């Protein structure tokens, strides 16, 4: 084997491989995944209040409630992000676990971001878009660019 040299004569020691260039090991600290879990719990609470999950049966539900398929999708994203973080903590997850958890966190923050920005829908009576429609498009584009930048950083 080229590049392999026995450092110690004792047969109990394994062979040591010398490479031409050292490998860079990026280890994601456990605290990152713990922070993601804490953030996801906060986001989940905000989303539950946003969809009026805690309203009692006597309260009137408005007609513009969120589609149940979208709720299911957000449930899957939130659950996958939290349990992905727990699995990454258990298995000492590396870069790909951190990337997937970051993307899950970014997706779970989208409903809150869309609630804060001007609406993308047209007005029902006038069929006109909001004059600040461009702010929402620019905000979502910048958000996607920032997430892509964070994920691509080694």
Where are the domains positioned within the chain? 28-116
Burial class (CB in 10 A: 0-12, 13-18, 19+), 33: buried
Q: Quote the percentage of the chain above a pLDDT of 90.
A: 14
Q: Is 65 exposed, middle or buried (0-12, 13-18, 19+ CB in 10 A)?
A: exposed
Maximum distance among all Cα pairs of the chain, rounded to whole angstroms: 86
Is pTM, for the whole model, over 0.75?
A: no
* Interatomic CA distance for residues 86 and 102, integer angstroms: 13
Instruction: Residue 91: count other Cβ atoms within 10 Å of its Cβ.
Output: 9
Average pLDDT, the chain: 77
- At 133 the pLDDT is 82
The residue-averaged pLDDT of 80-108 equals 88
Highest mean pLDDT among 38-42, 70-74, 133-137 belongs to 38-42
* Element holding 119 (H helix, E strand): none
């Amino acid at each position: 084997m080229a590049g392999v040299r026995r450092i110690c004569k004792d047969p109990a020691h394994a062979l040591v491989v010398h490479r031409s260039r050292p490998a860079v090991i990026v280890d994601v600290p456990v605290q990152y995944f713990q922070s993601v879990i804490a953030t996801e719990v906060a986001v989940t609470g905000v989303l539950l209040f946003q969809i009026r999950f805690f309203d009692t049966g006597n309260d009137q539900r408005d007609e513009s409630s969120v589609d149940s398929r979208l709720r299911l999708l957000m449930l899957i994203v939130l659950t996958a992000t939290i349990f992905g973080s727990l699995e990454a903590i258990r298995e000492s997850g590396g870069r790909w676990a951190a990337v997937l958890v970051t993307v899950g966190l970014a997706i779970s923050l989208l409903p809150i971001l869309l609630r804060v920005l001007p609406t993308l829908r047209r007005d029902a009576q006038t069929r006109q878009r909001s004059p600040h429609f461009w702010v929402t498009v620019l905000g979502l584009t910048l958000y996607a660019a920032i997430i892509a930048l964070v994920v691509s950083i080694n």
